[in-house]
């Protein structure tokens, strides 16, 4: 049980870091709406629209680190089998 929790903690942290890097290593807040800009040639204005998407940010990493920490910490409370 102790080992399982520690492996899970490491897996959560690694998966979160991997996803964060794969989605562009965004150092800001997590984005769930992706902004698109479309130029309007006649007026010179730029239209803005949003579509659903997911770009994890620092808060996502923090949440994952917290979850991993709780699991790793919990493993210390599990008694070894004698």
Partner 1 sequence: MLPFLATTGLAAPETFDFKDPKGVNAITFKLDAPLEAINGSAGGITGTVSFDPQNPGATTGKIVVASASLTVPNAMQTTHLRGSQWLDVEKNPEITFEAKELKNVKTAGDKTTAEVAGTFWLHGVSKDLTVPVELSYLPDKLGERLGGNQKGDLLVLRCDFAIKRSDFKINQGQMENKVSDTINLTVGIVGASAK
Where does this chain bind partner 1 (CB under 8 A)?
A: 27-35, 38, 40, 42-50, 57-58
Please say which residue, 10 or 45, places its beta carbon nearer to partner 1. 45
CB 33 within 8 A of CB 55: no
Please say which residue, 47 or 73, places its beta carbon nearer to partner 1. 47
Min dist. Cβ of residue 19 to partner 1 (A) = 17
CB 27 within 8 A of CB 56: no
Rg (C-alpha) for the chain, rounded Å, is: 20
Please say which residue, 10 or 35, places its beta carbon nearer to partner 1. 35
Give residue for tokens 């902004």: 35
């Amino acid at each position: 049980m102790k080992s399982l929790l520690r492996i899970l903690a490491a897996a959560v942290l690694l998966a979160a870091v991997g996803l964060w890097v794969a989605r562009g290593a965004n150092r800001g807040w997590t984005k769930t709406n992706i902004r698109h800009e479309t130029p309007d040639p006649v007026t010179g204005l730029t239209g803005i629209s949003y579509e659903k998407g997911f770009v994890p940010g620092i808060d996502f990493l923090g949440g994952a680190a917290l979850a991993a920490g709780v699991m790793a910490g919990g493993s210390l409370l599990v008694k070894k089998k004698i």
